[in-house]
Amino acid sequence: MTKNPRFRVGDSHICPACQTPFAVTCSSHRYCTPDCAKKVKSSRPRKPRDPEERAAYSRRWRDTNYVELVKKRRRYYEENREEILARQRERKRAMPREKLLAQRAKEYEQNKARGRRHYHVTRAWLPWLNAWQGSKQRAKKRGTPFTITKDWCEARWTGRCEVSNIEFILSTKRSPYLFSPSLDQIIPGLGYTPENSRFVLHAVNALKGEGTDENMLAIAEAIISASGLKRRTL
């Protein structure tokens, strides 16, 4: 796969350091003079020389810019998907079986660690994503209509349960949590459509089940009256 040059010879370019226009003489000609290049490069933060400090610096930088890196890698993969997959298949065919199995085991562990980190980052970045993905998978298994988009989720999300008005609390694990967000079908069986869906607590969704709002409220009132507890707001 060939890459286009950064700058084409003969094109006009503006120096980032002194804002002076100049004619490009080679594909990497970014600054008008070596002094401008030295001035910009010397102002950049330098990486530590010690290997351990350098590795820690790189990890901190990746964690800080993780979301942008994910977007960039995903965009690059979508633009060059066929070429990337062809290279991967060719490399695996030429690789000895023992080495291939060892590489697969290593990639599995790396993807597992990367998945954990990606899970925590996306939970803070897109708190409704897990509920959307889980509902989409369940609808596919059951053959239920699912027409909710990510744009709808982003516009609908308020950070609070639409039934109880309790603020959502995002869990740090993949297991369901009482105060985690979930997508609820207002009328069970009609599917996950924009008119029939809402964000509620996982506890509210579990209490309602396949029933209606009236059934859920009747159960809640019966629990309160039977236990003798006073109503209180969370």
Q: Which of 46-50, 84-88, 161-165 has the lowest mean pLDDT?
A: 46-50
Region 6-25: mean pLDDT is: 78
**Domains in the chain, number:** 3
- Which amino acid, one-letter code, is at 88? Q
The torsion angle over the Cα atoms of residues 184, 190, 191 and 193, rounded to 10 degrees, is -80
pLDDT in tens, 5-15: 566 677 777 88
Per the prediction, the chain carries an average pLDDT of 83
Domain of residue 185, residue span? 129-227
Both 135 and 182 in one domain: the answer is yes
Both 79 and 103 in one domain: the answer is yes
Of 70, 92, 125, the residue at which a domain comes to its end is 125
Which segments of the chain does DSSP mark as H helices, in order?
34-43, 51-64, 66-79, 81-93, 97-125, 129-142, 150-156, 202-208, 213-227
Q: Residue 78 above 50 pLDDT?
A: yes
The answer to whether position 200 is within a domain reads yes
Q: Give the domain CATH number at 194.
A: 3.30.40.220
Both 57 and 119 in one domain: the answer is yes
Both 202 and 153 in one domain: the answer is yes
pLDDT in tens, 173-199: 666 688 989 999 999 889 999 999 999
CA dist., res. 143 & res. 152, Å (int): 21
Residue 167 pLDDT: 92
Q: Of 171 and 207, which is predicted with more confidence? A: 207
Both 79 and 155 in one domain: the answer is no
Both 34 and 68 in one domain: the answer is no
Of 75, 95, 125, the residue at which a domain comes to its end is 125
The answer to whether position 30 is within a domain reads yes
CB atoms under 10 Å from CB of 146, counted, come to: 19
pTM for this structure?
0.51
Both 211 and 171 in one domain: the answer is yes
The answer to whether position 31 is within a domain reads yes
Both 191 and 110 in one domain: the answer is no
Both 35 and 70 in one domain: the answer is no
The answer to whether position 5 is within a domain reads no
Of 125, 149, 184, the residue at which a domain comes to its end is 125
Both 183 and 112 in one domain: the answer is no
Both 87 and 134 in one domain: the answer is no
Percent of the chain's residues with pLDDT above 70: 86
Both 147 and 208 in one domain: the answer is yes
Strand-pairing partners, residue 198, are 184
Strand-pairing partners, residue 13, are 22
Q: Residue 225 above 90 pLDDT?
A: no
